[in-house]
Structure 1
């Protein structure tokens, strides 16, 4: 994460935005007389929102964490969408 002043960002807004998107990174904008601001891409923001939504339900969060544990331990079962919908592979 890069830290830039408000003035630096304002002077180079297009290139700063392009870098944030191209590098999938964020930029902290330091403001002398106020709280800092973090600049991220819209896709990154949407991903964070989705994660927060999915994890806001304790039952869903637990199920997701169990699934991650199964994958990491090699105990996951792989299947196709077609098979789940009652078809054949």
Structure 2
């Protein structure tokens, strides 16, 4: 994560934006007398919001963490998203 002043970020704005969008770089921008802000790509921001939403419910968070633990331990199972009958009903291949 890169940190820079508001003044520096303004002087290098296009370069900072390119780093954030192309390199997935997070940039903390500081301003005297103000709270710092973080600049992230829209994709990263949406991913963070989705994760926060999924983890908001303690029960859902526990299920997700348990599922991740099972996968890491090699106890996961590969499954099709649609079974054959549902696929036929929907006309999916």
Give the TM-score, by structure 2 length.
Answer: 0.85
Residue 4 of structure 2 aligns to a residue in which SS?
strand
Consecutive unaligned residues in structure 2, runs of 5 or more:
89-93
- Shift in Å at residue 86 of structure 1? 4.2
Residue 82 of structure 1 aligns to a residue in which SS?
coil
The reply to whether residue 49 of structure 1 matches residue 45 of structure 2 is: no
Aligned partner of 1:7 in structure 2 is 7
Give the TM-score, by structure 1 length.
Answer: 0.88
Aligned partner of 2:18 in structure 1 is 18
The reply to whether residue 61 of structure 1 matches residue 61 of structure 2 is: yes
Aligned partner of 2:36 in structure 1 is 36
Consecutive unaligned residues in structure 1, runs of 5 or more:
none
Structure 1 residue ranges (4+ consecutive) displaced by more than 3 angstroms after TM superposition = 84-88
Figure out how many residues of one structure are paired with residues of the other and give that number.
89
Name whichever of 32-41 and 76-85 sits farther off.
76-85
Residue 3 of structure 1 aligns to a residue in which SS?
strand
